[in-house]
Structure 1
Amino acid sequence: MKSLVWFRSDLRTDDNPALREACSVSDDGVIAVFVVCPEQWKRHDWADIRVAFLLRNLRALSDALSGLNIPLLIRECRDFGGVPDVLERVIREHAIDCLCFNREYEVNETGRDDSVASRCREIGCRVRVSDDQCILTPGAVKTQQDGWYTVFTPFKKQWLGVYREDGVKSVAPPRKQADPGVARDDVPHSVLGFDAALDRADLWPAGEDAARKRLEQFVESKIARYDELRDRPDINGTSTLSPYLAHGVISARVCLEFAIEAHGGLPDPKSKEKSGASVWISELIWREFYRHLLVAFPRLCKHQPFQLETRRIRWRDSDEDFAAWCEGRTGIPIVDAAMRQLARTGWMHNRLRMIAAMFLTKNLLIDWRRGERHFMRHLVDGDLASNNGGWQWSASTGTDAAPYFRIFNPVSQGKRFDPEGRFVRALVPELGGIEGDAVHEPWAIPSLLCGELRYPDPICDLGETRQRAIDAFKALK
């Protein structure tokens, strides 16, 4: 039997259920395939830097697979609608008996996979589908009434209990396979419609080894103080593994196992004691939570709020304010620094994602979907479930979201989490001459100096716009 493994958001050989399955059912060689879908990626707001990162990881994957005698084929079609035809041609050309792939949970991806499975049945090719993106399969964590959790804390408690009993452990890469006698394809260095020049290989090296090294360094030198430092953008205290998780260059299972070892075991769901490792485990479970919600509430994939009544919010249509936010020139230093970090690196510190999102949706009262799309168009770690979940949390439209009256003051947030102003000064050089936390309130310095800064005045009054947002949500009652 000859098998075909279809790679998507799982670009690794280690702990890859679909790859293991393809190797286990084959005695006549394994072939791998990746399908490039430029127009679909555009519709899904993929960032240029994300596509560049993907291509570099495909090259690393191709090398790793070659060492296992598994050639990687690269095929292309405009969108998901063309994938069944593309895969059918590969299956027929290479006399494939079984197609293996890992499940994806978004609506369009699910529809694509259903069409592929149907086509395979028509042509007599077996299909094996594995679960990989989540540590626990969506639906494995349910309430006592067999319902879906919509609040994180009880979900986490139940999740830890289920994992303790039934959690699937990571598996090693497969052994070298029989040579199928097929040459691997060259991975392109660019995709039409995406600017390869925006790549940041210096920040985001490709491949499983790079991802594993980053995880090991985080566990060895940072995880112990993660609970203290995770909110500090001026300190390199987070794992920065999100791009690798988003593309499946490393698995969430492996990350969890490293964290459990660092913690000395799985955290007790009844304990209130926190450690760096236990807090990072909570972040991995948040990632699970948002994916479970996508399956339970498919409308989240369709630009709909979880709290349907918030569809009646009267958002402001200020293109001028939105452009100022996107370009990092709002006159609010921590917000501008955050947006410039995103533009320069393709990544933004999680605390800053919350601050920037809440400023847009509450102080500027601009629709969260505009911000969600802007993030996706620039993030190297673009991930629908996490990005949507984060935006709806900040906008108070999601499940278990921040209460609408809880509105971050970006000045207070800046002083608290960038207390010496180092992060702001590094990203907003116009403010480089202001020392200490005064950099978070440049309008409070003497007018002569302020006029020399060439930095804009705040585009809004934080107090007045806070009240405006509260009134807009109250109007829904």
Structure 2
Amino acid sequence: MNQLLWLRSDLRVTDNTALAAAMAAGPTVAVYLLTPGQWRIHDDAPCKVDFWLRNLQVLSERLAELNVPLLVRHVDDWRAVPDALGTLCREHQLGTVHVNEEYGVNEQRRDDAVETALSLAGIGFRRHLDQLLFAPGSVRTLSGGCFKVFSQFRKVCHARLNQSLPACRPVPAPQAAIPIPSDPIPDTVSGFPSPSEYLRSLWPAGEEFALRRLQIFAEDDLADYEQRRDVPAEAGTSQLSPYLAAGVISPRQCLHAALINNRGELDGGNPGAVTWINELLWREFYKHILVGFPRVSMGRAFRRETEALPWRHAPDDLEAWQQGRTGFPIVDAAMRQLLATGWMHNRLRMITAMFLSKNLLIDWRHGERWFMRNLIDGDLAANNGGWQWSASTGTDSVPYFRLFNPISQSEKFDPNGRFLRQWLPELVELDPRAIHDPGRLNGLFDQVAYPRAIVDLPMSRERALNAFRALGEAS
């Protein structure tokens, strides 16, 4: 029986669970669905759509080596997916559709609708665990519930991984040729303009590049990861998040690379390796939260009581934050990095998120949406989890009384202003002390073409603390 591989966020041939299962079951055809209406609903960034298309072009060549045709179909949104797949299966006499599981309320509803429609037509639908190390619902507390605290979740994950590591699947052997031609991959999709060549150059497509970047990071940079990961002026992080989000590389491949370079130890050995493995488990944790607490993928706070916070309606402040014009250099440099590269250093994601949700007291959902509209590595679980952590509305979140001071954070993690000078050329002549807080210049400040601070830090801190204290008093 012929098989259909429905590709989604799994754009690779190595260690692709659904691809391996489909090819083991019979002659396989692959399909990718272009759904621009759905992408707009989900706030997917144009640079991310471009990244998908570029990786699809490379993937089409890799699949051709396996004699697997790659078809491309266009449907506006997920409501049309059941009919599109059903038609494809009838046209090519495909008996089973294979997918790697995706997580989130809309994703689950889509797949349930597809399975129901295909079942009525006598077509099988097989779901495979791929973008996680453990199936959601399989990592439980002693009482059988979903973990709400990362440290406890991590402890159970470590115990299970020490017992048995998930294996990486090799590239399947080529199948006999199928007389179905592959479709061309479009360069662009209407409504999603191509990003700059500079941005594209930062993120080359293809799993070969992703695996090479992983190898270089694991061999050369992993040992220093704990010390360098918070310094935005240095290339101290793996920068693999776009490849993980698109499934160009798998979490299993990342875990094995880290373990190989840490002598097989999960929670011992090199601190850099241990810290990076924990970052992989944070991604895992947030996807488990999506399944265990569906409301977080529906625009709701994990901590229900925080829905009563008196968020400010301040469109001018929001726009200043979005465009990097707040008057706080570390915030502005980070936001400009995002707009130019489609990516932001993780420490800066926390600083900018706290600044918006705490110092400006603007609803974290505005920030979550803006990040998704601009991030090349936009991922619902990781983005939502990070924003709710920073805003003190989520699971295992930072205590509400902990607010990052953007000036002291800048002085600590960019002491010489290297990162600030890269993204704020108007401040390039300032000395290492003044560059973190140009407001210190007093009368000389007017000679610098840089906006004044849009908020008083002590006042904004007290305003945020009072808002959260009021929640406790009301309850």
AA matched with 1:221: D
Q: Does 1:387 align with 2:386?
A: no
Deviation, structure 1 residue 144 = 1.1
The equivalent residue for 2:209 is 210
Q: Distance in 1 between matches of 2:326 and 2:420?
A: 13
The equivalent residue for 2:44 is 46
Q: Does 1:23 align with 2:23?
A: yes
AA matched with 2:454: I
Q: Distance in 1 between matches of 2:200 and 2:115?
A: 36
Describe the superposition over 1:357-387 as per-residue Cα deviations: whole angstroms up to 9, x where unpaired. Answer: 0000000000000000000000000000000
Which runs of structure 2 are paired with 1:358-377 in the superposition (5 Å)?
358-377=354-373
Deviation, structure 1 residue 266 = 2.9
Q: Distance in 1 between matches of 2:433 and 2:103?
A: 44
Q: Distance in 1 between matches of 2:111 and 2:165?
A: 25
For the Cα contact (< 8 Å) 2:139–2:146, is it kept in 1? Answer: yes
Q: Distance in 2 between matches of 1:121 and 1:358?
A: 47
For the Cα contact (< 8 Å) 1:136–1:167, is it kept in 2? Answer: no
Describe the superposition over 1:27-83 as per-residue Cα deviations: whole angstroms up to 9, x where unpaired. Answer: xx2100000100000000000100000100010110100000001000010100000
Q: Does 1:406 align with 2:405?
A: no
Deviation, structure 1 residue 165 = 2.2
Which runs of structure 2 are paired with 1:300-379 in the superposition (5 Å)?
300-379=296-375
The equivalent residue for 2:139 is 141
For the Cα contact (< 8 Å) 2:9–2:245, is it kept in 1? Answer: yes
AA matched with 2:192: F
Q: Does 1:3 align with 2:10?
A: no
Q: Distance in 2 between matches of 1:243 and 1:216?
A: 16
2:189 pairs, out of 191, 211, 231, with 191
Describe the superposition over 1:278-316 as per-residue Cα deviations: whole angstroms up to 9, x where unpaired. Answer: 100000000000000000000011000000000000000
Deviation, structure 1 residue 198 = 4.3
AA matched with 2:230: D
The equivalent residue for 1:170 is 168
1:201 aligns to what SS in structure 2? helix
Q: Distance in 1 between matches of 2:58 and 2:117?
A: 30
1:452 pairs, out of 444, 447, 452, with 447
Q: Does 1:283 align with 2:283?
A: no
Structure 2 CA distance for partners of 1:106 and 1:198, relative to 1, 3 Å:
farther
2:126 aligns to what SS in structure 1? strand
Describe the superposition over 1:373-405 as per-residue Cα deviations: whole angstroms up to 9, x where unpaired. Answer: 000000000000000000000000001100000
Q: Distance in 1 between matches of 2:423 and 2:433?
A: 15
AA matched with 1:227: E
Q: Distance in 2 between matches of 1:5 and 1:18?
A: 7
AA matched with 1:4: L
Q: Does 1:467 align with 2:459?
A: no
1:75 aligns to what SS in structure 2? strand
For the Cα contact (< 8 Å) 1:136–1:163, is it kept in 2? Answer: no
Q: Distance in 1 between matches of 2:210 and 2:368?
A: 26
Q: Distance in 2 between matches of 1:16 and 1:252?
A: 11
The equivalent residue for 1:440 is 436
Deviation, structure 1 residue 464 = 0.8
For the Cα contact (< 8 Å) 1:21–1:128, is it kept in 2? Answer: no
Q: Distance in 2 between matches of 1:16 and 1:317?
A: 45
> Scaled by the length of structure 1, what TM-score is found?
0.97
Stretches of structure 2 lacking an aligned partner (at least 5 in a row): none
The equivalent residue for 1:101 is 99
2:116 aligns to what SS in structure 1? helix
The equivalent residue for 2:427 is 431
For the Cα contact (< 8 Å) 2:223–2:270, is it kept in 1? Answer: no
AA matched with 2:298: K
Q: Distance in 1 between matches of 2:47 and 2:346?
A: 18
The equivalent residue for 2:263 is 264
Q: Distance in 2 between matches of 1:419 and 1:236?
A: 16
Q: Distance in 2 between matches of 1:279 and 1:136?
A: 19
Describe the superposition over 1:436-473 as per-residue Cα deviations: whole angstroms up to 9, x where unpaired. Answer: 2431011112522x211110110011111001000000
Q: Distance in 1 between matches of 2:60 and 2:262?
A: 35
Q: Distance in 2 between matches of 1:111 and 1:40?
A: 13
Deviation, structure 1 residue 217 = 1.1
The equivalent residue for 1:33 is 31
1:136 aligns to what SS in structure 2? coil
AA matched with 1:162: R
1:129 aligns to what SS in structure 2? strand
AA matched with 2:441: I
Deviation, structure 1 residue 110 = 0.7
For the Cα contact (< 8 Å) 1:333–1:424, is it kept in 2? Answer: yes
Aligned length: 471
Which runs of structure 2 are paired with 1:65-144 in the superposition (5 Å)?
65-144=63-142
AA matched with 1:124: G
Deviation, structure 1 residue 129 = 1.1
Q: Distance in 1 between matches of 2:191 and 2:442?
A: 48
Q: Distance in 2 between matches of 1:397 and 1:185?
A: 45
AA matched with 1:314: P
Q: Distance in 1 between matches of 2:309 and 2:270?
A: 38
Describe the superposition over 1:114-158 as per-residue Cα deviations: whole angstroms up to 9, x where unpaired. Answer: 111111111111222101111111122111111110001011011
Deviation, structure 1 residue 274 = 6.0
The equivalent residue for 1:234 is 233
AA matched with 1:473: F
Q: Distance in 1 between matches of 2:411 and 2:312?
A: 28
For the Cα contact (< 8 Å) 1:7–1:101, is it kept in 2? Answer: yes
Q: Runs in 1 of length 4+ with deviation above 3 angstroms?
A: none
For the Cα contact (< 8 Å) 2:262–2:270, is it kept in 1? Answer: no
Q: Distance in 2 between matches of 1:433 and 1:297?
A: 49
Q: Distance in 2 between matches of 1:352 and 1:436?
A: 19
Deviation, structure 1 residue 176 = 0.2
AA matched with 2:214: L
For the Cα contact (< 8 Å) 1:48–1:198, is it kept in 2? Answer: no
Q: Distance in 2 between matches of 1:346 and 1:198?
A: 10
Structure 2 CA distance for partners of 1:179 and 1:189, relative to 1, 3 Å:
same
AA matched with 2:450: Y
